[in-house]
Structure 1
Amino acid sequence: MGKSVFNAVKNVNELISKELNNLSIFDQELIDEKMINLEVQ
Structure 2
Amino acid sequence: GLRQAQARTRNAIDDALAAILQTVSPKECLNYFKEAGYERT
Q: TM-score, normalised to structure 1's length?
A: 0.39
- Where relative contact order (Cα < 8 A, 6+ residues apart) is larger, the structure is 1
- Structure with more helix by fraction: 1
Q: TM-score, normalised to structure 2's length?
A: 0.39
Which of the two has higher C-alpha Rg?
2
